[in-house]
Structures are given as C-alpha cells and as structure tokens.
C-alpha cells in the first residue's frame, strides 16, 4: 500500500488554496467611495438590497434604490424588480450594496445569471467588512428610507 504523508503546514496551505478556488467571485467590485462617485455622476444605479428594518436602522446610501432582496417571489422576483427599475436595460451599470457584502455577492450572481452584464458589488457594504470600512464609517452621505 502506498501512502503520501504531508507536512501539516503544507496540508494547511493546500486546504486554503482549495477553499479559495471554491469561493469564486460573481463579478467585479467597487469600493464604497468609487460607488458613491459613480452613482452621483449618473454612471451607476446604486441598489441597497437590505431589509426595510436595516434601512431604518442605518439609513440608505444617498441616491440608492431600495430593493429588498428578500422579495416575496424569491430571487426571480428580485431580478424582475431590478429590471423594471432599469427600464429593461440589462446592460446598465448597477452597484449592489448590503450590510457587509455577503448578500450583495449572492444577488450579483443572480443578476449575472439572469443576463445582466454590468453588475458591481460594493463588497465593504454599509457597515464594513474585510474589503473595507464601509459606507457609514467612511462618512459617505446617507438618507432616510423612502419606502419604510
């Protein structure tokens, strides 16, 4: 019987590399300041995909559309609502933001799979993550929830 023995450190490195390969990105990302500049210039539609209670708690990124990703009709309903807000233009640049970038990654993937071509993820989110300090900590402008 042939057995391969790995040094524990090498085994750990291989495990990390395998995990990184499984965590594929759904698409491009923007920092919170980049998203803010693009949205203010009219070159990006920013969409806050959090829940209404979260919008009330921390407010919404200035100029962002409020589209709760927890749509009553699931991901397909969310996709249809985004498409309606964009007038059917699946090539329009979109920036998705949530609290920390996890949910926006999921919805970025759903939109790309539905045929949207320019979907950006604001991975640091409103509250911050490993990608950056977040919209709020950066002092970027917010506004009260419009739909709450």
Residue 87 lies in a domain: yes
With beta carbons less than 8 A apart as the criterion, state whether 95 and 120 touch. Answer: yes
Judge whether 135 and 126 are in contact, CB under 8 Å. Answer: yes
- Each residue of 51-99: pLDDT tens digit? 999 999 999 999 999 999 999 999 999 999 999 999 999 999 999 999 9
**The domain spanning residue 32 has which CATH number?**
3.40.250.10
Q: What domain range is 55 assigned to? A: 26-143
Q: Would you say residue 89 lies in a domain?
A: yes
| Residue bearing the bigger pLDDT, 22 or 120 | 120
Distance CA 66, CA 50 (A): 8
Note the pLDDT of residue 93: 98
Residue 20 within any structural domain of the chain: no
Tell me, yes or no, whether 3 lies in a domain. Answer: no
What is the pTM for the complete model shown?
Answer: 0.82
Is residue 17 in a domain?
Answer: no
């Amino acid at each position: 019987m042939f057995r391969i023995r790995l040094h524990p450190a090498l085994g750990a490195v291989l495990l990390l590399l395998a995990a990184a390969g499984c965590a594929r990105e759904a698409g491009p990302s923007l920092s919170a300041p980049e998203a803010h500049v693009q949205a203010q210039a009219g070159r990006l539609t920013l969409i806050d995909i959090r829940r209404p209670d979260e919008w009330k708690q921390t407010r919404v990124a200035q100029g962002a559309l409020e589209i709760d990703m927890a749509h009553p009709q699931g991901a397909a309903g969310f996709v249809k609502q985004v498409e309606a807000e964009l007038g059917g233009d699946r090539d329009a640049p979109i920036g998705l933001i949530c609290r920390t970038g996890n949910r926006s990654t999921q919805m970025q993937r759903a939109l790309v799979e539905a045929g949207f071509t320019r979907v950006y993820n604001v991975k640091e989110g409103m509250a911050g993550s490993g990608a950056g300090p977040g919209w709020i900590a950066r002092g970027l402008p917010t506004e009260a929830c419009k739909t709450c």
